[in-house]
């Protein structure tokens, strides 16, 4: 089986080694840009997911290594408006160019077209990646536990907090969940997709739900197909789902999204 994660991380770490910018200096630039209004102030990503029923982080995604092209003509601003009309609480936008066909511009267009908080969905491997998320106008950044050491998780989370960003720490098993909580995670995503093979295990999220503390916002990610999946995840105690392919490929994106949200969330 192909090891997608290894290839993607190798590419991103090679780029990071060539980046000589000082994270502290770039962070000051980001803070100044926010103070001056050049970059819009962060929207409350975590707060947007604390609703009465199941919330959705709707993903703007052009393609993936496993599925290929999802929408060759995707227009991020129009998709963001469709998602907002369908009841999305937040957006997730791929900014990885090489493997997912995304860009910084995709994120900026989607955010400008909606009033929703936006997650920069990318492979964060350096502190300056976190700062770049704020500079491009993101409200949250993705940290993948499988891709980062304990020290990196802690440092990147602290950097995100200092910049006013939420950190969605993505885990795949109990050990990674423990590491995320040790790093102070307030927002945890359980990815049902194995990032080494991209195969989906639809029972993974439900099996881990009870291990996530009640004060932490819990998000189920990947392989979410329909209302039945969302109902089951809400009954397991998830506050939100992150859905990409199902929505991008839907003929009626707003309608498809409406069918996925609002289910009563069981206490964990």
pLDDT, tens digit (0-9, with 9 covering 90-100), for 121-159: 999 999 999 999 999 999 999 999 999 999 999 999 999
* 141 vs 52: CA distance, rounded Å: 24
The answer as to whether 266 is a domain residue is no
The answer as to whether 213 is a domain residue is yes
* 19 vs 116: CA distance, rounded Å: 31
φ, ψ for residue 191, nearest 5 deg = -90, 120
User: What local confidence, expressed as pLDDT, does residue 205 receive?
Assistant: 95
φ, ψ for residue 193, nearest 5 deg = -95, 130
Closest among 119, 165, 124 to 146, alpha carbons compared:
124
* 41 vs 139: CA distance, rounded Å: 8
How far apart, in Å, are the Cα atoms of 86 and each of 70, 218, 265? 20, 21, 19
Lowest mean pLDDT among 28-32, 173-177, 195-199, 228-232: 195-199
Domain that holds residue 142: 4-258
* 234 vs 230: CA distance, rounded Å: 6
The answer as to whether 245 is a domain residue is yes
The answer as to whether 249 is a domain residue is yes
User: What local confidence, expressed as pLDDT, does residue 83 receive?
Assistant: 98
Q: How far is CA 53 from the centre of its chain?
A: 19
* 132 vs 115: CA distance, rounded Å: 21
How far apart, in Å, are the Cα atoms of 99 and each of 60, 169, 216, 264? 14, 21, 31, 36
Confidence class for position 3, pLDDT limits 50, 70, 90: low
What average pLDDT does this structure show over 30-40?
A: 96
Helix (H) or strand (E) holding 168: strand 166-171
Q: Is 189 helix (H, G, I), strand (E, B) or coil?
A: strand
Q: For residue 118, what are the β-bridge partners?
A: 91
Q: pLDDT per residue over 56-94, tens digit each?
A: 999 999 998 888 999 989 999 999 999 999 999 999 999
The answer as to whether 78 is a domain residue is yes
User: What local confidence, expressed as pLDDT, does residue 6 receive?
Assistant: 87
Residues 89 and 48: beta-carbon distance below 8 Å: yes
Q: pTM (2 decimals)? A: 0.95
CATH number at residue 15: 3.20.20.70
Confidence class for position 2, pLDDT limits 50, 70, 90: very low
Res. 5: pLDDT tops 90: no
Residues 169 and 189: beta-carbon distance below 8 Å: yes
Task: Indicate which residues carry an active-site annotation.
Answer: 59, 61, 121, 170, 191, 221-222
Res. 114: pLDDT tops 60: yes
Confidence class for position 195, pLDDT limits 50, 70, 90: low
Helix (H) or strand (E) holding 68: strand 68-69
The answer as to whether 268 is a domain residue is no
Question: For the chain, what is the domain count?
Answer: 1
User: What local confidence, expressed as pLDDT, does residue 49 receive?
Assistant: 98
The answer as to whether 166 is a domain residue is yes
Closest among 86, 42, 139 to 246, alpha carbons compared:
86
Res. 198: pLDDT tops 90: no
Report residue 48 as tokens: 């947007």
């Amino acid at each position: 089986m192909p090891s997608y994660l290894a290839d993607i991380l190798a590419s991103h770490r090679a780029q990071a080694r060539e980046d000589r910018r000082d994270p502290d200096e770039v962070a000051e630039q980001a803070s100044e840009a926010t103070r001056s209004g050049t970059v819009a102030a962060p929207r409350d990503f975590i707060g947007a997911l604390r609703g009465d029923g199941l919330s959705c982080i709707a993903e703007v995604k052009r393609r993936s290594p496993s599925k290929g092209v999802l929408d060759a003509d995707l227009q991020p601003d129009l998709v963001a408006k469709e998602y907002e009309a369908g009841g999305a609480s937040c957006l997730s936008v791929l900014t990885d160019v090489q493997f997912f066909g995304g860009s910084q511009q995709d994120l900026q267009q989607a955010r400008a077209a909606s009033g929703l908080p936006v997650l920069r969905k990318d492979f964060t491997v350096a502190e300056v990646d976190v700062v770049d998320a704020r500079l491009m106008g993101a409200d949250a950044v993705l940290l993948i536990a499988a891709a980062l050491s304990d020290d990196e998780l802690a440092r990147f989370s602290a950097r995100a907090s200092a910049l006013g960003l939420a950190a969605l720490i993505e885990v795949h098993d109990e050990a990674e969940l423990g590491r995320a909580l040790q790093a102070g995670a307030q927002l945890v995503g359980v990815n049902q997709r194995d990032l080494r093979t991209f195969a989906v295990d639809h029972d993974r999220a439900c099996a881990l739900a009870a291990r996530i503390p009640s004060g932490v916002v819990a998000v189920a990610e990947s392989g979410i197909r329909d209302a039945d999946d969302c109902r089951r995840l809400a009954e397991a105690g998830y506050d939100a789902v992150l859905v990409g392919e199902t929505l991008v490929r839907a003929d009626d994106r707003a309608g498809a999204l409406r069918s996925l949200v609002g289910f009563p969330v069981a206490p964990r």
